[in-house]
Amino acid sequence: MDTPLNVTTFVVVDLETTGGAPFGGSEITEFGAVKVCGGEVIDEFSTFVRPDGAIPEFITDLTGITDEMVADAPGIDSVFPDFMHWCGSHKETVLIAHNAPFDISFLKAAASKLEMPWPDFFILDTVRIARHTVDRDEVPNYKLGTLAEFFQTKVQPTHRALDDAQTTVEIFHRLIERLGTQVSTVKELQSFKRGK
């Protein structure tokens, strides 16, 4: 991905789920995503997803999402294809998530469940970028809430998908500003390391 950052279309995604095991029974309950290019928001995608099973109480305590809220929502068999279509071509779109392995693993699990091929998206993780951009003497950790407080983002994370995706967009843009001329392409950003 040698595309310049300022002309790349990024899809910043956040998922809420029933647990932490994408291939072990945990399911997606909410999608939130923001499409950005050149520092501007192009579009947003947000929907509840009706899981096959009940939402555990501790997840409801964390996210505020209840079984009643998702009861009439579309299932993953409807939402996932819609989301993939909304994302656009994997040759033109870069996926971003905060702690990307978590969200991407759930997307891949959904693709597998629906017997759909997983597009080979280029993926960026704002946790990894932050570790090489923000010093440990500036922040105690690289959690979304910590970075949101550090960067004083307009949107604060709430453990709701769209809020957290919007927060991640702001953090991503602030990280790019910090890096300045050190990176100019998607590939350079993915491989950037502190002190390089």
Question: Residues with catalytic annotation?
Answer: 159
Alpha-carbon separation of residue 109 from 15, 117, 127 (angstroms): 13, 11, 22
Long-range contacts of 73-79 (CB under 8 A, 24+ apart): 73/47, 73/48, 73/49, 74/47, 74/49, 74/50, 75/49, 75/50, 76/27, 76/28, 76/49, 76/51, 76/110, 76/113, 76/114, 77/114, 79/28, 79/31, 79/47, 79/49
Q: Using an 8 Å Cβ cutoff, are 159 and 64 in contact?
A: yes
- Coil, helix or strand at residue 143: coil
SS3 176: helix
